[in-house]
Amino acid sequence: MSSSSCFSRRRFLQHSAIAGATCTLPSFAHALDWTPLSFAAVRTRAPLTPGAFTPLPLGSIRPAGWLRSQLQIQANGLSGHLDETWADVGPNSGWLGGTGESWERGPYFLDGLLPLAWLLDDAHLKAKAQRFIEWTLTHQAPNGMIGPSSNNDWWPRFVMLKALAQYHDATADPRVLALMEKYFRYQLNELPARPLRDWGRFRWQDELLSVIWLYNRTGSPYLLDLARLLHAQGYDWIAQYANFQYTQKITAEFIKLNEGGGLKDLALATHGVNNGQAIKTGPVWSLVSGSSTDRSAVLQMIAELDRYHGLPNGMFSCDEHLAGRDPSQGSELCTVVEFMFSLEQSLAITGDASLGDRLERLAFNALPGTFTDDMWAHQYNQEPNQVECSLHHKPWVSDGPESNLYGLEPNFGCCTANFHQGWPKFAASLFMLSGASEGEGGLAAVAYAPCELRTRVRGTAVHVVEETEYPFRGSIRITVNPASPLRFPLQLRIPAWAAGFTLDVNGHPEVNPTGGGAGGARIERIWKAGDRVELTLPMHPRISRWFNNSIAVERGPLVYSYAIGEDWVKLRDRGMTADWQVFPATAWNYALEVDASDPAKSFEVTAGTVGDAPFTRRQAPVRMSAKARKLPAWRAEDGAADPLPQSPVATDQPVEPITLIPYAAAKLRITAFPQCKSEQNS
């Protein structure tokens, strides 16, 4: 046994000492040192086809600056307390041995709580997560089945397996490998007679991730048989998008929702969360199939979703099914976090920088935009043009009247259980390991936010510090500290919008900083402790085109919205939190005056301090002034803005100055604006 595995074992024993512990854990405090170096990233094992990057084990990356504050807000909000106020993940959960909810909600909660706890190194939250882990690890049936015996659906187990893999990455607890090995053997035997159905059939690629994760660690050949069986029984998402048919807003009649008898295939194939999870299918399956066509299918999937259902916040509409491009349509929070997770996995496998661009667009806009500032309440559906959050039936395909309230479990409780993974998995994915073998190893910065990284590259300990106020500012400083001088490549994703970027190393410009694969810069040199990389990404205001030729205003990875005045009215108390309606307190029906030949001239940027809650209206770190005219004919009906008129539009209303703030900071907002006819420009 090597010294590092001795160390892993010791850490594991410290962890296992808390089995079944309550939330107070004084004996755990001595284990809080940040010592993840014993947990090396595990590369793809032959005959699987390696991806471009390897995700780093949970614990390698630590959030800093505003990102740490944001995770702390999440921990202080619903994530840190959900089990105390919502019975579905409380002490009577089936996933804790109780008689309560025994399907997806316990695993969903754990899948986000666990990385949140380890990223913050919070003993209290770790203990909460550990209770779910311990119950599952100590209650495997003799035949290998895991989870509550009252429910044998394969699907919720997919989620528990994802959580267990993260737990093993963070702790090296050997019980995880043994449990998964026994479970997968059981499942391989069972699946022919009891095949994947409904949710499991449409989400099979999420289990495939865990099967591959285990194969990379054990090399057991039967796991590749299981991978192929999941593929054979699972829905063919790659075929769906190779010949995409769902190009219109789905209707309840089309998917036969009113016929009863559960969701039909058409409903499952057009279901928002299913599609968000499906985006990773091509890259993940390509690890097994070796097909470059499969690997690049992710780009085709995203392009089709954008073309027919794309929204300026980076999402596709899904309320609850694909809903077209009208920015009054909603996107479900589960889909936001699942799309993000799909992008993180797809980015690791393909190395394609555009997936990092999209990941940031979701993380910095759609994700924080759908929570209250304190993360004690969230929406089921968010809208880019969200003029009212109230009890109303329009404009959703099939969702209920509470869908865009901010609350505990508006419309349905899946998002209440599932949202927790969004920020933590983003933070854990900022850096990845490059190179197909240890000898070729390097580091890749695939998304940007303040953080620290400790890992091993080519066998040498490397500490990296990233200091930045990105996404609000464009300058990023990365300090590289290898334990001893070490040659390796550092790859930096260059966003598509960052024309004219500059890259300096120790104050000297990199002459030819390209060549890092699709959309990246690559610096290979002998790194010495204290070497400093300065990346400057110019952030000029720019516009993008959306539904009915409307315009959205962007700067860097942030989308900017007109912040409608907000009148928050409590609908009801919900245990430790509450459900809220938000009514507009000001007009919102503006068309923008934009000089299309030089959009940047139409906006004046004011930069303020980046505080500890940067995605809130009170602390919005960047504001933009713009000119607009009212469009009296553009109104709302039943709480939703009518479809935007086709741009450009004529209006005789006077020019008014309006202020744009980051999308996420404006809970009532206009994001896609009609554009005034140019002859009206003054």
Q: Does 415 help bind Zn ion (rule: CB under 5 A)?
A: yes
Q: How far is CA 148 from CA 38, 103, 121, 197, in A?
A: 33, 8, 29, 18
Shortest distance in whole angstroms from residue 287 CB to Zn ion? 28
Applying CB under 5 A, which of residues 40, 96, 113, 334 lies at the interface with Zn ion? 334
The string of DSSP letters for 487-547 reads EEEEEEE--TT-TT-EEEETTEE-S----SSTTEEEEEEEE-TTEEEEEE-----EEEE-G
Among the candidate windows 104-112, 275-283, 412-420, 626-634, which touches Zn ion by CB under 5 A?
412-420
Distance CA 376, CA 407 (A): 8
Token duo for residue 277: 């999870």
User: What sign does the dihedral 143-145-148-152 (CA atoms) show?
Assistant: negative
Q: Does 110 help bind Zn ion (rule: CB under 5 A)?
A: no
Token duo for residue 312: 């300026």
Q: Which is nearer to Zn ion, 166 or 370 (CB)?
A: 370
Peptide linkage before 312 cis (omega within 30 of 0):
no
Shortest distance in whole angstroms from residue 257 CB to Zn ion? 17
Q: Of 618, 619, 631, whose CA–CA distance to 670 is shortest?
A: 631
Residue for token pair 């809650």: 613
Shortest distance in whole angstroms from residue 268 CB to Zn ion? 15
Shortest distance in whole angstroms from residue 332 CB to Zn ion? 5
Token duo for residue 30: 């001595």
SS3 label, residue 189: helix
Among the candidate windows 409-417, 455-463, 542-550, 623-631, which touches Zn ion by CB under 5 A?
409-417
Q: Which is nearer to Zn ion, 206 or 452 (CB)?
A: 206
Among the candidate windows 140-148, 327-335, 512-520, 636-644, which touches Zn ion by CB under 5 A?
327-335
Shortest distance in whole angstroms from residue 404 CB to Zn ion? 13
Distance CA 502, CA 535 (A): 6
Among the candidate windows 175-183, 187-195, 410-418, 480-488, which touches Zn ion by CB under 5 A?
410-418
Q: Which is nearer to Zn ion, 38 or 382 (CB)?
A: 382
Q: Which is nearer to Zn ion, 40 or 333 (CB)?
A: 333
Residue for token pair 């290979």: 524
Shortest distance in whole angstroms from residue 159 CB to Zn ion? 13
Q: Which is nearer to Zn ion, 156 or 282 (CB)?
A: 156
Which single residue brings its beta carbon nearest to Zn ion?
334
Q: Which is nearer to Zn ion, 134 or 399 (CB)?
A: 399
Shortest distance in whole angstroms from residue 333 CB to Zn ion? 6
Among the candidate windows 336-344, 350-358, 414-422, 661-669, which touches Zn ion by CB under 5 A?
414-422
Evaluate whether 619 touches 613 at the Cβ level (below 8 Å): yes
Q: Which is nearer to Zn ion, 8 or 331 (CB)?
A: 331
Q: Does 297 help bind Zn ion (rule: CB under 5 A)?
A: no
Q: How far is CA 629 from CA 547, 554, 593, 644, 656, in A?
A: 19, 20, 7, 14, 6
Q: How far is CA 117 from CA 110, 113, 210, 289, 611, in A?
A: 10, 6, 21, 35, 23
Q: Which is nearer to Zn ion, 414 or 670 (CB)?
A: 414
Shortest distance in whole angstroms from residue 285 CB to Zn ion? 25
Among the candidate windows 3-11, 43-51, 180-188, 329-337, which touches Zn ion by CB under 5 A?
329-337
Evaluate whether 233 touches 201 at the Cβ level (below 8 Å): yes
Shortest distance in whole angstroms from residue 414 CB to Zn ion? 3
Q: Does 414 help bind Zn ion (rule: CB under 5 A)?
A: yes
Applying CB under 5 A, which residues contact Zn ion? 332, 334, 414-415
